[in-house]
Structure 1
Amino acid sequence: MKCKECSYEFSMREIQDGSPCPECARRAQAAAVQASRPTPVYVKPQEVVVVDFKMSFNSMVWFMVKAAFASIPALIIIAIVLAVLNLLFGGALLGLAGLLGR
């Protein structure tokens, strides 16, 4: 036997007990929970201007050392990209110069 609303297949025990459709009950409960939640209200973000912050000298030095180490992989990637571009455009310019007879 199937539920008329959601086509849930009842087990024999559920048919004998005469229990309501558990799928429809779950959906009704989820709808009730959703309806009980307040509708979120959009709040415009506030602009913030940082005037000053306190940081000890040792913390600032340690932060700068970490930033320097973090920049090393980025510099390696940029160097590789520039080398590839140099090979492509340098080879193209040399080939163009060879065609022009220089």
Structure 2
Amino acid sequence: MKKTKRMGDWLRQPLRRLWRLLAMRCAHATQVMSDELDGASTAEDRLAARLHEAVCPGCRRVRVQLQGIDRWLRNATVKPPEPGGLSEDARRRIRRLLRDQQATSDKPEG
């Protein structure tokens, strides 16, 4: 009897893991895909998401979209803000706009 119970316990854990791999829902799969791009997913979750994608065309589309967004963000050029706030060019443009507004408001209506 003990051997059967031990065998059952031994088998139960892998079956739970297999069920978890095969029974992933779309919401969890898409979260894992996002986490994967951020480097924050486990190998088991990644495998489960890939298995889910194999049978879910919607999640395959989501992966393609997430990868496209990730690629776009990685290639985007963002200038770091300059120390001291606004760049000189931005200050110049603001001064010009304020000067133009002042000149327009100083004109008499007529």
* TM-score, normalised with respect to structure 1: 0.29
- Which of structures 1 and 2 has the bigger CA Rg? 1
Which protein, 1 or 2, shows the higher relative CO under an 8 Å CA cutoff with sep ≥ 6? 2
* TM-score, normalised with respect to structure 2: 0.28
Question: Counting helix residues as a fraction of each chain, which structure ranks higher?
Answer: 2
